[in-house]
Amino acid sequence: MADARQTTVRFSEDIYARLEQAGAVTGLPLNSIVTVACMEWLDRHLAPTGDALAPPAAGGWLRRVWPRGLGLFGGFTPSARGALTRAEDEARRLGHGIIDVEDLLLSLLADRESQAAQVLAELGVTYQRAREQVKRLAPADPFPAMGEIGLTDRARKVIELSLAEARRLKQRSIGTEHLLLGIAREGESVAAQALEALGASLAAVRSATECRLRPRD
């Protein structure tokens, strides 16, 4: 039988404090945070054979740290998964230390071919206009995160609401339109405020989205 491989890692107090902060954000125990960080580093920097360097994968942390595991993403369409992982990039560009609903809204708008972006375009909401509103309502953090970043409770709630919306509409996959419905249903985020400021009321967003989801004769 092969010998068990063990490692002992000692961290500075500063690193422990950051690990505890990550645990508070994600709800994961410290050991899991360390494991996730190690696996994420390997995924970002090593090719599958371990022989060569690979380019970083944007949004990898977001896929891993969702408390319900990777299986949660199985029900999302490719477009919705792209929006979820791209939200991390939007947060970084805005200098946000954590992924919030407004970052998800911008990631939905960034893919102009997505159902959500098309609904919002009908209501006069574009990526650039929304980004200007988000920058006004949620300015950059004075001390932006240097490493991987997590999700706010509000962003988690929106994702959970998107699942509920898909079930309510008896649809098997969760698309960008369901994420948009989740944003509208939550209704209190910076994203919701930005939409209202741009003349797209949450009621109008819900109505236009559900209209697009109805079967056409």
| Res. 209: pLDDT tops 60 | yes
CATH number of this structure's domain 68-213: 1.10.1780.10
> Could you report how far apart the first and last alpha carbons of the chain are, in Å?
64
Q: Tell me: the pLDDT tens digits for 59-101?
A: 454 454 444 433 444 578 888 988 988 898 888 888 888 889 9
Q: Domains of the chain: which residue ranges?
A: 11-57, 68-213
What does pTM read for this prediction?
0.66
Distance CA 99, CA 91 (A): 6
More confident position, 23 or 201 = 201
Q: Please give the share of the chain, as a percent, with pLDDT higher than 70.
A: 64
